[in-house]
Chain A
Amino acid sequence: MTAPRHPDALTAPRHVDVLVVGAGPAGLAAAARLAAAGAGRVEVLEREARPGGVPRHCAHGGFGTWTHPLTGPGYARLLTQAAERAGATVRTGVTALDWAPDGPVLTAVGPGGPETVTARAVVLATGARERPRPARLVPGTRPAGVYTTGELQQAVHLFGQHIGTRAVVVGAADVSYAAADTVRAAGAEVVALVTEHPRAQTGRARARAALLRHGVPLLTGTTVTALLGHGRLSGVRVRHRDGRTTVLPCDTVVFTGDFVPDHELARRGGLTLDPGTRGPAVAGSLHTSRPGVFAAGNILHAVEPAGTAAREGARAAGAVLDFLAGAPWPAPGVPVTVAPPLRWIAPNRVTPDAPSVPHLLRTGVPLRRPVLYVRQDGRLLHHERLPTALPDRTLALGARWHHRVDPDGGEVRVSTG
């Protein structure tokens, strides 16, 4: 065995102006705007074989715009072409591994070997993923046939793999219904959608269509308490609200939703993370705590639609351009936190100079027409009645109160009471 060698010991660093990590909607949109605005050499590192991020394997509609609707793969292609036409370089099969000790400098590896890339600015757009079964601490055996939506969609839509014959889908959010569609597209039967919540976290039309058109029952108030079977999954034990337990016989189970940011690179770089989102803490300008490093997309808020991520990528590009033109790195700003049942808020910092973009929030339980209160050090800055909010669905809070935040005061707290 050869002696350990750090990759950057061997290669001379390459220089780019802006290095974007992740070729999903946020990264590609940032790269497109940066390259178009003449930011110089703009390079996107993508560890997968194809650019596009999660939309690559979302073989359904709902992407693009009202006037130009697209499927996920179509949207991925459009964003990739836009970035490349603008002059950005998209490098697939190259994995950003870690940071050099100082500055926006990353080590990476690909088929061409290890490399060190120095940049004037880095945009982290590493996205989000679903939490798999072990992280959810679902008891039972460890059989084959256990999926997340991400793996399921790739298995079916990218590789044409057989997935089993009877699937239970855990969750009843939009992504869960997309998973159910994929199960059916693979020729398998959806046994049921199972959610702990009292109702589906999707539009009523979609829930009704799943039941009436496809005969997929929705089990609300129901918890998965064990996976059964040796070798292959044989069933899922569930507990209903009234305490009854039953076994749903199935050979496949899909754990959907429960997204978390893919924040490994952010943590390795020592970026301050927000305790709610578990992504980098940012204000509306999308500067992270590490000078020269910006973040955009679902690494900041797991998860919002692809279009939101792309718009945010473009906004990050604006901040990068200002920084390259000499704008100073801002102070960290005042933290914005949420009180339960709210789960997180993004952006989660307020700085005096950042653009006043709306905040995105999530609730842990359904809230009917909630009033949100914004306070700092006991002082009410703002309150606002919002539409009925469901877990896993976007909830937005305006930013009209930003000018009332004392930049030297304590954290800003957002609550429902």
Chain B
Amino acid sequence: MSVTAAGPLPTAPYDVAVVGAGVVGCAIARELARRPRLRVALVEAQDDVGQGTSKANTAILHTGFDAAPGTLEARLVREGYALLGAYAAGSGIPVERVGALLVAWDEEQLAALPRLAGKAERNAYHDTALLGPGELYAREPRLGPGALGALHVPGESIICPWTTTLAYATQAVRSGVDLHLNTAVREVSSPDGHVLTTSRGTLRARHLVNAAGLHADTLDRALGHEDFTVTPRRGQLLVYDKLARPLVRHILLPVPTALGKGVLVAPTVYGNVLLGPTAEDLHDKRATGSTADGTAALREQGRRILPALVEEEVTAVYAGLRAATGHEDYRITAHPGQAYVTVGGIRSTGLTASLAIAAHVVGLLADGGLDLGPVREPDPVTMPNLGEAFPRPYQRPDLIAADPEYGTLVCHCERVSRGEIRDALAGTVPPRSLEGLRRRTRARSGRCQGFYCGAAVRDLFERGARP
């Protein structure tokens, strides 16, 4: 069990190497870690887990009600929803079952709602309900004027994507997986087993899983496959201050029509409100910048959906790149002759589906000749709670009485205590940057963005990193 970020890689071959430590790669590594006989490497180009598409999504736990019926994605999202819901409850990952409303703003959208309800039925989701404007406005009194009705999907939930990814990685590493960070895969040759040439030297593995997200097509080509091309689709999102949270009770989803997908307004488990995403097809896989046009368009649409929202302060603007493949399903393909599984085209539903994808992929590895060996369930993890619907450390007299560091707040906007920062720095997969610390604790992600606490948090980080 180890996490490395520098120096040479182990020379002994692994049974399995998983390339990409996003939410999907971490889930696969965790699933493999249930098989203690396997030696598993999780290889990540960046300095932390969940640094690509996984960190910039809409943080929704999807029921899969609107998936394309009969697809692999529809099945894995449905299964993953139940699996992750149970896993989150057992691991302290915050989930709020707020439900979603698909709000119809014109006759065309209103006409689409019964079709969406029918689609939900075909996806084995039976709890949708059509709401008239009276019930809609009773549920969402701050909704902008002019909504004609909605489809209620009570199972749609919000979740913490960072804690989910980190929980998988923590459990995987504690169960014996080697996590190699700062390890970009440059070349693969597979004469007899796989030889990965990386930025940190050579790594050998008998079986290979490609969970490289935006770069899955590049890695796939290196192994001789021309099955798909990843076109990064940029989604810009605005995060509004916690003082906006009382404005909205549900996830407000757009009704997809021929004219486009529209944007959503959703609460986050941290108590913020999200507005977005844009959908811009790009070619640059590093174009994670926001644009003036993008944020202006979002504010314009947000003003119609929830007029009071755009008067609140924005605490973050971010842009994530989704791995679009021009194909309405995941691209999970086994290449048994190569001892290789491609996990491509995992779109924004990947967070929800992650545990089901992992089980599916490990099944494919076994079909391809990997002897999984006996199962030993990993020790459960208890993750620090970042969610406002559950007691935070500063709200727990028992914790503060045992350790006053949990009553000493450093980040005031997000109410993060010195104890939580200390714990994160001592974690199994510790942060290697202030951004990593932010994702683990919320420190300096509030409305002041470090005006009050930035220097103090950095001081703790730098001293913690060099004890």
Chain B residues lying within 8 Å of A114, measured Cβ to Cβ, are: 395, 397, 400, 407
The interface-forming segment of B150-158, B185-193, B313-321, B332-340 is B313-321
Closest A residue by C-beta to B286: A230
User: Is B243's beta carbon under 8 Å from chain A?
Assistant: yes
Measured between alpha carbons, how far is A93 from B456 in the docked complex, in Å? 13
Q: Does B447 contact A (CB under 8 A)?
A: yes
Chain B residues, CB < 8 A from A155: 454-455, 458
Instruction: Give A73 Cβ to nearest chain B Cβ, in Å.
Output: 15
Q: Which of A3, A134, A154, A228 has the most CB of B within 10 A?
A: A134
Q: Is residue B449 contacting chain A, with contact meaning CB distance below 8 A?
A: yes
B451 and A130 contact, CB distance less than 8 A: yes
CB atoms of B458 and A150 under 8 A apart:
no
Scoring A residues 91 to 111 as 1 if CB is less than 8 Å from chain B, else 0, what string do you get?
001010100000000000111
Q: Is B92's CB under 8 angstroms from A1's CB? A: yes
Contacting residues, chain B, for A13 (C-beta < 8 A): none
Q: Which of A4, A47, A109 contacts B390, CB < 8 Å?
A: A4
- A2→B396 contact, CB < 8 A: yes
Residues B317 and A129 in contact, CB atoms below 8 Å apart: no
Task: Determine how close the nearest CB of chain B comes to the CB of A269; give it in whole angstroms.
Answer: 12
| A75 CB within 8 Å of chain B | no
Is B394 within 8 A of A139, CB to CB? no
Q: A77 contacts the other chain (Cβ, under 8 Å)?
A: no
Asked if residues B395 and A7 are in contact (CB atoms below 8 Å), the reply is yes
Asked if A384 is at the interface (CB within 8 A of a chain B CB), the reply is no
Interface of B is mostly: mixed
B135 at the interface (CB under 8 A from A): no
Decide if B404 is an interface residue (CB 8 Å cutoff): yes
| Cβ contact within 8 Å between B318 and A133 | no
Tell me, rounded to whole Å, the shortest Cβ–Cβ distance linking A138 to chain B: 8
Shortest Cβ gap from B197 to chain A (Å) = 23
Given that A93-B408, A95-B412 are contacting pairs, would A135 and B315 also be in contact in the complex, using a CB cutoff of 8 Å? yes
CB–CB B401/A113 < 8 A:
yes
Q: Are B447 and A109 touching (Cβ within 8 A)?
A: no
Q: Across the interface, do B451 and A129 meet the contact criterion of CB distance under 8 Å? A: yes
Please determine whether A161 and B390 come into contact, CB atoms closer than 8 angstroms.
Answer: no
Q: Which of A141-149, A313-321, A331-339, A367-375 contacts B (4 or more CB under 8 A)?
A: A141-149
Complex CA distance for A264 and B396, rounded to whole angstroms: 21
Do B289 and A139 touch across chains, with their CB atoms under 8 A apart? yes
Given contacts A1-B391, A10-B397, contact A134 B449 (CB under 8 A): yes
Q: 8 Å CB contacts to A: which residues of B371-424?
A: 385, 390-391, 394-398, 400-401, 404-405, 407-409, 412-413, 415
Interface members, chain B 97-137 (any A CB < 8 Å): none
Assess the A226–B451 pair: CB atoms within 8 A: no
Q: Which of A48, A109, A112, A144 has the most CB of B within 10 A?
A: A109
B412 — nearest CB in chain A belongs to which residue? A47
A140 in contact (CB, < 8 A)? yes
- Interface presence of B328 (CB below 8 A): no
Given A132-B451, A230-B286, A109–B400 Cβ distance below 8 Å?
yes
Please name all residues of chain A whose beta carbon is closer than 8 Å to the beta carbon of B316 when the two chains form the complex: 134
Residues of B282-319 whose CB lies within 8 A of A: 286, 288-292, 294-295, 313-318
Task: A155 to B444: give the CA distance in the assembly, Å.
Answer: 14
Kindly list chain A residues whose C-beta atoms are within 8 Å of the C-beta of B385: 1
Cα distance, A93 to B405, chains bound together (Å): 11
Tell me if B459 is interfacial: C-beta within 8 Å of chain A: yes
A139 touches B455 (CB 8 A): no
Q: A259: shortest Cβ distance to chain B, in Å?
A: 10
The verdict on B433 contacting chain A, using a C-beta distance below 8 Å, is yes
Given contacts A47-B409, A159-B459, contact A151 B314 (CB under 8 A): no
Q: Is residue B430 contacting chain A, with contact meaning CB distance below 8 A?
A: no
Given A109-B394, A151-B452, 12 other A-B residues pairs in contact with their CB atoms under 8 A: A1-B391, A2-B398, A95-B415, A110-B407, A113-B400, A129-B448, A134-B316, A141-B288, A148-B451, A151-B451, A159-B456, A228-B289
For the complex of A and B, the 8 pairs showing the least CB-CB separation, nearest first, are A132-B449, A111-B404, A154-B455, A151-B454, A155-B455, A150-B451, A129-B451, A141-B289
Q: Which A residues contact B (CB, under 8 angstroms)? A: 1-7, 10-11, 47-48, 93, 95, 97, 109-114, 129-135, 137, 139-142, 144, 147-148, 150-151, 154-155, 158-159, 161, 225-228, 230, 260, 262, 264, 267
List residues of chain B with CB under 8 Å of any chain A CB.
92, 239, 243, 286, 288-292, 294-295, 313-318, 385, 390-391, 394-398, 400-401, 404-405, 407-409, 412-413, 415, 433-435, 447-452, 454-456, 458-459, 462
16 contacts between A and B (CB under 8 A): A1-B385, A2-B396, A4-B395, A6-B395, A110-B407, A110-B408, A111-B408, A112-B400, A113-B401, A135-B315, A151-B452, A154-B454, A159-B458, A264-B243, A264-B447, A267-B243
